[in-house]
Amino acid sequence: MATYNGEQYIKEQLVSILSQLKDEDEVIVSDDNSTDNTLNVVKALDDSRVKIYLNSKESGYTRNFENALEKSTGDIIFLADQDDVWLENKVEVLLKGLEKYDFVISDCKIVDSELNILDESHFKLRGVKQGFMHNLLLTRYVGACMAFKREVLQKSLPFPNSAKLSAHDYWICLISELYFEVGLVEEPLLLYRRHGGNASNGGEKSKNSLLHKLSVRGYTLFNLLKAYRR
């Protein structure tokens, strides 16, 4: 989990995660130098499974996630945003999927700040599809819905140098589509909170210029070829 000024929602999210974990599991929280009460809220949970680190890299959510992932030790990794809520069977269902696949991504319900449902299915709303070329050109995968094996993480690290041209979830999804077995879980397993202060666009249509979109894809393809040699 990458955090930054998330005091409003983070307790609810962490409680929904911790209730599904075993004693030997861990929650890695990488904080991007929050100026609010985020870290105090996390510490107040007083759960030994939660491990807090400060982001030692460039500020921003992609490097913050990279910092968290580098600190992880488990064989299975789940990405988590600071302001969502995991539904009670998320871990169980995705672990089942990972018995067959290396990387799985679930559907989610889109909700507002008060968890009122705005849409029952992100997959249907955004036309989520599997496949490398589709996701290179028009990805709608949501990072907070991803889980994957350590082998995927090892292939993904280090992230490309430019976070602006290759966001963490875009990069991990394309590494997975190109080099590993990917499975889509049609069941919504997350309440994906959209409240106006989100760091990402949530799989909505990009407002970036055509030049920027072409730069992102060219830069990412170049780095995917570099990853092949690792």
Tokens describing residue 29: 């929280």
Output the CA torsion 140→144→147→150 (10° steps). 110
Domain boundaries, the chain: 2-228
How do residues 110-168 score in pLDDT, each as one tens digit?
999 999 999 999 999 999 999 999 999 999 999 999 999 999 999 999 999 999 999 99
**Token representation of residue 133:** 């070329």
Predicted TM-score (pTM) of this structure: 0.92
Q: What is the rounded CA–CA span in Å between residue 105 and residue 146?
A: 4
pLDDT digits (tens, 9 = 90+) for 86-103: 999 999 999 999 999 999
pLDDT per residue as tens digits for the range 46-82: 999 999 999 999 999 999 999 999 999 999 999 999 9
- 2-228: CATH topology is Spore Coat Polysaccharide Biosynthesis Protein SpsA; Chain A (3.90.550)
Q: Which residues contact 81 (CB under 8 A, 6 or more apart)?
A: 1, 2, 13, 143, 144
What span, in angstroms and rounded, lies between the C-alpha atoms of 84 and 93? 18
Residue 3 CA to residue 95 CA, distance in Å, equals: 24
